[in-house]
Structure 1
Amino acid sequence: MPAQFDPPSGTRDFLAEEFERREGAFAVIREVFARFGFEPLQTPAFERLDVLLGKYGDEGDKLIFKILRRGEHEASGEADLALRYDMTVPLARVAAAYGSQLPTPYKRFAMGPVWRADRPGKGRFREFTQCDLDTLGSASPLADAEIICAVHDAMAGLGLDGFGFQLNSRRVLTGLLEAFGVPASLGPAALITLDKLDKQPPQAVIAELADRGLDEATAAELVDVVGAPDAASRVADALKGSDQGVAGLDEVSRVLDLAGPLLPAERIEFSPRLVRGLSYYTGTIWEVTAPGVPGSLAGGGRYDHLIEQLGGPDVPATGGSLGIER
């Protein structure tokens, strides 16, 4: 087939049979989210670029699909635009704009395409569908546990099996950096590197931490603790002198206590090596993985200050996203 007939790299066409199968999956997810009390919200496919920048970390900002202006629009003075990177930042913008009109807590779901200026590869696309659900206005761990249970039920409703939830907290990670004397200026880069432990051998992660400016002995000790088979107990020991770290462990424990009895025991656990790269996370974070499946099937966490960053009130928030293709 001539190349001009192929869809752009990292995108796909869906003929009738696959389209109907996907629509059936979306219907299952929509029914589960609605059963948990979440209501729908639709936002534009593109946003102002300044709304998106700075919310995803340095690595994420590089993957934002910018919209180029040409002709008469180039000198119009209109704000630069970009395709949405996820559903969370557009939700935060809506909350900042319409906060007084929304109920408290505000539980919403959204389903639609998002875009990443990524290098396409096996199982990775530049355009893919996210099924997102969030609760704004509740700082309770009940809200985090409810999100996790809703995602679990949606995945089970799709007939998926063998998947599991890994939980951590950004406070645990902050406490670890403090405990090992990692300078604050190196913190974000160190976390991005630690996030690669599931994809790269420990020695490669240690080398990258050293390249980023961390003392090699400290890097080796940090990787050894986080990557150990008994990492949960070793991390807890390391955090005994950190208020942030202890608060993070308590946060994870409370969510596990609430969600754990509602899920099969083997499907949820504390994973101190889990980082999640998006910079807007502030507390509990989680991912769903399955043996033999690269990357995560779903993920989310608490982002208590994102709405304030966009000029709205300081509203606690938590959410998660299930990717259909990614």
Structure 2
Amino acid sequence: MTATLNVSPDRDEFAPARRRGGLRRKLTFDRISFMVVFLGLPLAIYLVFVVSPFIQACYYALTDWSGFSPTQNFVGLANFKRIFTDDIFLTAMGNNILLAVVLPLVTIVIAFVFASLVTVSGSSRGQTRGLKASGFYRTVSFFPYVIPAIVIGIMWSLIYDPSNGLLNGILVALGFDGAKDFPWLGDERTAMAATIFVIVWSMVGFYMVLFVAAIKGIPAEYYEAARVDGAGRLRIMLSVTLPMIRDTVQTAWIYLGILALDAFVYMAALNPGGGPNNSTLVMAQQLFTTAFTKGQFGVACAMGVVLAAVTLIFAGLVFGVSRLLGGKDDAR
């Protein structure tokens, strides 16, 4: 007995499945409510509180608005021409660029080294692990990050105090008599370095924990294979760990760069006047002074537009350099 299977050429066996898929794609109440709550509402908030103020700032940057007058006279690009011929603003921009180069580099290097030490740089025998009491080190290093930035700035301004500061007291007690009454924040040679140290101290713990989480996701077999090949701790850090967490490092670099291009709270707490010879003045400080002290909101908005443009350029450079170094290929 032979079974015969009759298949009609006009019959579409997958039509019911396609019809069911079409029904799923129809707009139902659940689908619409989901889109409204999780897409429409956040997009509306972003447009109202981020995009709209930025567009307003771009418009005000083209006027002579004082911030309190009901009218604004259109002046075109005069405000931009003014700030790019202002030596003080150019100095502030240079300080921001210096911070954007030095601060992420120093913070990421220190955080990466610490993260490697507490995760994979322990004993070279047995299972891959970090140093002993690594949990304690993570907790202690993360503690400064939970302190508000303004509190950190005020605290370190007292530590740096020339007369009664803790730092000079310790140095003098150790025999460094030249540190007596030395103004760390009042000397042009040390003001920026002292400020960068404070920001790094406050941020390195957070990025250490961020890198620790990324390193925990690397398969242990990679480290075991590197050990078998005779790689040391430094070689493992540079050839195994760093390439595997490249995306995390890129994200950290962008966030730290944005912090460096702002840095208003730290600078205002440590050196409200911009430091000796404006050595620690940043664009955000100059923007605040121009707007609320001088009453030149049009010029201040122009500074804000320039600051936003510099931030976007910085993020683009980080993405570009990461791609050139092989970040895209590693992500695959």
Task: Please state which band the TM-score falls in when normalised by the shorter chain.
Answer: under 0.3
Choose between structure 1 and 2: higher helix proportion.
Answer: 2
**Structure-2-length-normalised TM-score:** 0.22
Choose between structure 1 and 2: higher strand proportion.
Answer: 1
**Structure-1-length-normalised TM-score:** 0.22
